[in-house]
């Protein structure tokens, strides 16, 4: 029998890694593949655990300690609060759009509307203070996976 992941386990994955991609593959782990239990061929929406992935992604993305942005390769990225000071410290190394907080809103008509809060408007004052106290070397260590040379992507089987 397949086990169902709890919201606590899903959030723990984000806490452990600090930065994870919602569903894409890249230099940081994939949240969707973690929930699925392994690599996903094609779209995660077609995966047998798609409803679980969606439900847990919603819980994680709505958590106060998780920034949802498009930090990694323009893909939806979850960034845990513990990493925010490093992002602030090294913000000049990123495009403003990478650090904007993104969200989706359901309108009364049932349509979805994308919302964006520019950097640094979403940054709490406590995080700014933590960033000031952090060395650049420490911030680089925390964000190291983002600065490593890109690995060749695996080719999908045809």
**pLDDT value of residue 148:** 80
Nearest-angstrom CA–CA distance, 123 and 4: 34
pLDDT of residue 105: 83
Q: Is the pLDDT of residue 1 over 60?
A: no
Reported as a pLDDT band with limits 50, 70 and 90, residue 2 is low
Higher pLDDT pick, 17 / 152: 17
Distance CA 65, CA 12 (A): 11
pLDDT of 67 above 80 = yes
Strands (E), the chain: 19-21, 66-72, 75-80, 101-106, 112-117
155 pLDDT more than 90: no
Q: How confident is the model at residue 104 (pLDDT cuts 50, 70, 90)?
A: confident
Q: Please state the pTM of the whole predicted model.
A: 0.90
Percentage of the chain with pLDDT > 90?
77
113: which strand partners? 105
| Confidence bin at 158 (pLDDT 50/70/90) | very low
């Amino acid at each position: 029998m397949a086990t169902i992941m709890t919201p606590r386990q899903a959030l723990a994955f984000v806490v452990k890694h600090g930065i994870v991609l919602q569903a894409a593959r890249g230099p940081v782990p994939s949240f969707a593949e973690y929930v699925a239990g392994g690599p996903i061929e094609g779209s995660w929406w077609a995966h047998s655990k798609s409803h679980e992935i969606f439900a847990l992604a919603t819980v994680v993305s709505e958590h106060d300690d998780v920034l949802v942005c498009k930090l990694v390769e323009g893909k939806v990225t979850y960034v845990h609060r513990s990493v925010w000071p490093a992002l602030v410290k090294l913000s000049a190394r990123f495009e403003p759009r990478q650090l904007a907080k993104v969200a989706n809103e359901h309108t009364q008509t049932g349509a979805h509307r994308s919302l964006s809060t520019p950097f640094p408007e979403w940054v709490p004052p406590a995080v700014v203070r933590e960033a000031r106290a952090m060395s650049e070397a420490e911030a680089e260590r925390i964000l190291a996976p983002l600065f490593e040379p890109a690995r060749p992507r695996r080719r999908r089987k045809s």
